Amino acid sequence: MTKITSSLFLAALLALCLHVASAQAQLVRTCVSMAKGNDANSASFCHCTTPCRTFAVAHDNTLPDGEITVLDPGDYGGLTITKSISINNDSGGEASISVSGGTTGIIVNAPASGYVNLRGITIQGVGFGGGTGLRFNSGFSLVVTNCVIRNHTGSGIEYFPNVSSRLAVSNTLVADNGGRGILVQPAAASTTKVVLNRVEAVNNSQDGIRIAAPTTGLTIKAIVADSVAASNGSNGFVASGGFAGAINLMVIRSVAANNGGVTAEMVRRTERPLSATCMARPRGARRSSKSDDVRAASMYQASEVEQRCSGPSWVDVRVMWASTTGGTTMPGITALLMLRSTMKTSLRSRE
């Protein structure tokens, strides 16, 4: 009996050691290659001397906070990200993910503390009902750099965090999608910070860039700089708030052309804009006091407001929307829009 017990104990200990060794054998840095990659190389954990063929297999063999490196151009397939990880393509060619059949190229289901970085990736819809380019469901941070996301039947980027999180997109083209170019719409009460820098949202069937707070307890702080929203089916830049969602949107040195421009929306009939202020100052003028600005402010009681601003150089448009129910006023959207004076800006409250 003692011998049997000892044998079982040794077997269990051996199994535990093998499991620990397997987990530790994941690598901090793995590689994928179309020229010489093979997913059977997962036996060597996708080491860069024996790379794997797909992002999904490399992901499973990479330690949290690790990195997948693309060695040469190719199509590396979609994946679901469940850890902190970076996927980097500096190979000098296209590292692509082809999307069809209503699927999603990259889904991010990372832990609440997870950081995800994507650089140099093309996510391409290829027909057969190509779905969504990139969807973020959970994690702390998503950084997208030097990417192309286009030709999907749904939206290019869908950012739906369920906890407080941060999104940064730079040097990226989001184009030719059947939904929005970029849709930021948190799924639960949280604070979301968004930075979009040198982003082009072009030829999307709906809005180019839409920042939405559709439910209670949401705060979104977003800045869009040096970006273009052009030839989209609806509006260029949109801040859309629900009854108790708060949005701060700043648009700087950006262009909205051949679409609906810049729009701040509320979604209930009872909500009305409280005020709109236009401020213009000459090129090169320093703003040292409020008297440096030329102001035109009004109180609006109607269900719709259109405030057009023009100036010699830059124009700031400050709009504060509010909801009134039972004598209580609740803040809805505050939008600070810094636009080129050649752009006509419409700010409307939508029923």
Q: Other CB atoms closer than 10 Å to residue 165's CB: what's the count?
A: 23
The model's pLDDT over 14-48, given as tens digits with 9 standing for 90+, comes to: 444 433 334 457 999 999 999 999 999 999 999 99
Let me know if residue 329 belongs to a domain.
yes
Let me know if residue 294 belongs to a domain.
no
Q: DSSP string spanning 96-121?
A: EEEE-TT-EEEEEE--TT-EEEEESE
pLDDT at 232 over 70: yes
In which domain, by residue range, is 325 found? 67-284+300-340
Let me know if residue 5 belongs to a domain.
no
Q: Mark 52-73 as b/e (b = at least 16 C-beta within 10 Å).
A: bbbbbbbbbbbbeebbbbbbbb
- Give φ, ψ of 22 to 5 degrees: -65, -45
pLDDT at 53 over 70: yes
Let me know if residue 40 belongs to a domain.
no
pLDDT at 92 (0 to 100): 78
Segment 292-299 long-range contacts (CB within 8 Å, at least 24 positions apart): 299/274, 299/275
pLDDT at 127 over 60: yes
Joined together, the tokens standing for residue 151 give: 């030709």
pLDDT, greater one: 198 or 311? 198
Average pLDDT, the chain: 76
Q: Other CB atoms closer than 10 Å to residue 269's CB: what's the count?
A: 10
What confidence tier does 79 reach under pLDDT thresholds 50, 70, 90? very high
pTM, two decimal places = 0.75
pLDDT at 130 (0 to 100): 74
pLDDT at 243 (0 to 100): 54
The model's pLDDT over 158-182, given as tens digits with 9 standing for 90+, comes to: 999 999 999 999 999 999 999 999 9
CATH code assigned at 278: 2.160.20.10
Nearest Cα to Cα of residue 175 among 195, 145, 155, 197: 155
Let me know if residue 45 belongs to a domain.
no
Strands 115-119 and 141-145: parallel
Number of domains in the chain: 1
Let me know if residue 334 belongs to a domain.
yes
Let me know if residue 274 belongs to a domain.
yes
pLDDT at 140 (0 to 100): 98
- With beta carbons less than 8 A apart as the criterion, state whether 132 and 154 touch: yes
Let me know if residue 23 belongs to a domain.
no
